[in-house]
Amino acid sequence: MAIINRAITGLAATVLMCATLSSPQAQAEDFITIGTGSVSGLYYPVGNAICRLLNKDRHRHGIRCTAETSEGSLGNLRDLREGRIDFALVQSDWQAKAFEGTAALSQGEPFSDMRAVLSLHEEIFTVVARADSEIATFSDLRGMRVNIGNEGSGQRATMLALMGALGWSMESFSEVHHLSATEQSAALCAGTFDAMVFAVGHPAATVEEATTACDSVLVSLDEPAIRAVIADTGYFEFTEIPANLYRGNPHPVQSFGFTATLVTTRHQRLKVVHELVRAVFSDLDVLRGAHPAFSRLEAGPMVQNGQTAPIHRAARAYYRASDLLERDGQ
């Protein structure tokens, strides 16, 4: 009888263990990472907001998401291509250039495995100068001390592309600095350089820091040569930074913009992509409330704007089922 009891007890334990392992709560978690940017930019908070939305329901789907700081768009694209991260936040101009093939990434080979997931806030190419530098236009940067951003950042890459189109080089400036977005505002106000460039959604903490800590002005890019560059490319759109958004800047400032986008690769698991887009679009108000720059996010543009790479098939299926994408779309 004791042997029978032990057998029954052992069988019950085995059944319980199998049931536990098959339950969603006991499944081994899938860990995914999103490459973002510096803590002072907007990629880091939006990446964290997406992860919070996804992690909120991880007891059901078994996916845990983390957002990692990074160099920026180009660094994220390299890390995504080499499998060090699962998703990447990148400027839409660099999504396009990477998918088509650019010398700035992997010897110009097209990143054909890249897949779009969704678009986010508008980003604007922003130039901030010390008020005492007498820089009023982008052309006034010539001969000045300028911070163009750290290696691997989208702001630096876009600045270099703009310089190349205008026929400028590093020798066009008296000094070139390479500080990250986190460091540049304090250095500007300390007098280390005369101006800095930034690719960011507004309002931005870095720009607010620069205009609050010292007398700084946003510089217009409304010049014929720059307008010709923007008109010749499909990557950019004319836009403006609103008036009175920052101290000492009472007028709107003309510039050009693009879109922050989230991308992955075609190899990313269907379940992971489906659950990520489901988490975002099911709680879009939460994402809007994560930062003032995200307050104008709308589902339609998030699906259709700023995408060059094909939409990942799991995201496409979700968007079609939710009537966010036409059946004959991508």
Average pLDDT, the chain: 89
The arithmetic mean of pLDDT across residues 282-308, rounded, is 94
Q: Give the confidence band of 40 by pLDDT, cuts at 50, 70, 90.
A: confident
SS3 sequence of 11-68:
HHHHHHHHHHHHCHHHCCCEEEEEECCCCCCCHHHHHHHHHHHHHCCHHHHCEEEEEE
Give the pLDDT confidence of 179-192 residue by residue, as tens digits: 988 899 999 999 99
Pair (225, 242) in one structural domain? yes
The arithmetic mean of pLDDT across residues 10-31, rounded, is 47
Pair (229, 264) in one structural domain? no
Please give the helix or strand (H or E) that residue 253 lies within, else none.
strand 253-265
For the chain, how big is the Rg over CA atoms in Å? Answer: 23
The reported pLDDT for the residue numbered 25 is 43
**How many domains does the chain fold into?**
2
Pair (45, 80) in one structural domain? yes
Pair (264, 117) in one structural domain? yes
The reported pLDDT for the residue numbered 103 is 66
Pair (38, 77) in one structural domain? yes
Q: Give the confidence band of 310 by pLDDT, cuts at 50, 70, 90.
A: very high
Give the pLDDT confidence of 227-265 residue by residue, as tens digits: 998 888 878 999 999 999 999 999 999 999 999 999 999
Pair (185, 237) in one structural domain? yes
Q: Is residue 68 part of a domain?
A: yes
Locate all alpha helices (DSSP H) within 87-180, ordered by sequence: 92-100, 154-166
% of the chain exceeding 70 in pLDDT: 90
Pair (118, 147) in one structural domain? no
Question: In terms of residue numbers, what domain contains 115?
Answer: 28-122+259-321
The reported pLDDT for the residue numbered 9 is 42
Q: Give the confidence band of 14 by pLDDT, cuts at 50, 70, 90.
A: very low
Q: Is residue 111 part of a domain?
A: yes
The reported pLDDT for the residue numbered 33 is 98
Q: Give the confidence band of 91 by pLDDT, cuts at 50, 70, 90.
A: very high
Residue with tokens 């505002």: 185
Pair (220, 151) in one structural domain? yes
The reported pLDDT for the residue numbered 154 is 84
Question: 143: domain CATH number?
Answer: 3.40.190.10
Q: Give the confidence band of 4 by pLDDT, cuts at 50, 70, 90.
A: very low
The reported pLDDT for the residue numbered 28 is 52
